[in-house]
Structures are given as C-alpha cells and as structure tokens.
Amino acid sequence: MKKIINHYMFTGIVECIAKVHQFNREKNNLRITFNNPFLNNAIQINQSICHNGICLSIMDINKKTYSVIASEETLLCTNLNFLKIQDEVNLERGIMLHKRLNGHIVQGHVDTTATIIKIENRNGSWLFFFKSKNRLDHLVVEKGSIAINGISLTIIRCDQYTFHVSILPYTYEKTNLHMMKIGDIVNVEFDILAKYINKSIQKYCKNI
C-alpha cells in the first residue's frame, strides 16, 4: 500500500481548498473545523495536511468536516488568528514517494507573515506584491522559490522587506489567491536550502 509521508514534506502544489466551518478555543490552543473536500478515506486521523502553508494534524473527521488543533506557538507566528468562518484555505496532503516533486520542498513550518501591498492585473496573469515584517533579503533571491499560503511560487523581484510574484490563471482560480485583497496577511515559508545556507554562513562568519 502506498503511504503518505506524514509531518515531513509538501511541494507547494495546492490540491484543493476548504472553507472554515467552526472555531473552538481549547485553553491556549485553537480547534479549527473545516468542511471536508476529500473523498471517502482520502484522509485519516493523525494525518498531516498543509493548511495555508501550515502543517496541521487531523484530530477528528467525518464525511462532512474534519478538525485540527493549532498550538499557541502556531497562532503566534501564522495568520490563523485572522481566519473567519467561511474563509477559504489552501490544502495539500503530504507527498507520496512515487510522485514527482512538482513544486519545491515545503515543510509546512511558517517562518513569518507578510502583507499584500499591491495587486496588479496584467491581462492574463497577476502580480502580487508583499511586504514582510522581518528582513528577508538574506533568505530570498530573484527566480528563487518561496511558499505563500502553502503555494510554491517563484520570486520575480525582492529587496530587504518586499518581494513580488507572478500568478497564472490556474493558480489564481484553484487557490485562495482569488479571495485575497490589499492588506491581507499571508503565511510565508522560505526555501529550506536558503535557511541552511544562511545558518552555515552565519556560523562561518562568527568563527572568522
């Protein structure tokens, strides 16, 4: 039987979207219930699914809905606190060993958030401009990969705090980007290779 790699890896290729059905506070954690867009037995309890770029495990499930729990730490570093009932969330299940890696390596571990500062309709595509609350020029490069709300995208231009990407019609229509507007906050995960290289350089510089 082919098995999904739980808790480890995604590709940033969104499978579908789900709407937020309900919120329940559980001490410092948040239980979020989504409508279930998957077919029977396509997901199971304790399976990890990437929700807007956040790796969350299924706590309970039925034919119509399923629930996950976000910890206090996850709530602090992602945009989950901004979700509302009926909001759409991008979903991706963990990769399967026999499939190609069509996007890039996405862990579902959000590094920071960014705000949409401009959206340009380019007559067949869209340019989305983002501004990060943290400096990011040491982790992004032009034509490099980045995950926005769990979507594997290519950076067109970037500087210390801003970057922008091009969105094609299929991605725009099949993800929650078509619902996004200026001022909305998205989850950002940097390329894991960039993070390792940056850490190695910092360590090397300290030893000089």
CATH code of residue 202: 2.40.30.20
pLDDT at 3: 43
Residues 196 and 158 placed together within one structural domain of the fold: yes
Separation CA 123–CA 125 (nearest Å)? 6
Last residue of a domain, one of 93, 122, 151: 93
Residues 50 and 122 placed together within one structural domain of the fold: no
* Cα torsion 170, 173, 178, 179: sign: negative
Burial of 207 (0-12, 13-18, 19+ CB in 10 A): exposed
Residue 105 inside a domain? The answer is no
Q: How confident is the model at residue 28 (pLDDT cuts 50, 70, 90)?
A: very high
Find how far residue 101's CA is from the centre of its chain: 16
Helix, coil or strand: residue 90: strand
Residue 86 inside a domain? The answer is yes
Residues 123 and 187 placed together within one structural domain of the fold: yes
Q: What is the pLDDT of residues 146-204, one digit of tens each?
A: 999 999 999 999 999 999 999 999 999 999 999 999 999 999 999 988 888 888 887 77
Residues 171 and 200 placed together within one structural domain of the fold: yes
The domain total for the chain is 2
Residues 71 and 158 placed together within one structural domain of the fold: no
Residues 117 and 202 placed together within one structural domain of the fold: yes
Query: What is each CA distance from 198 to 52, 139, 203, in whole angstroms?
Result: 25, 7, 9
Residue 62 inside a domain? The answer is yes
Separation CA 105–CA 103 (nearest Å)? 7
* pTM across the whole model: 0.89
Residue 127 inside a domain? The answer is yes
Q: What is the pLDDT of residues 62-104, one digit of tens each?
A: 989 999 999 999 999 999 999 999 999 999 999 877 777 788 9
Last residue of a domain, one of 37, 62, 93: 93
| Residues spanned by the domain of 197 | 112-207
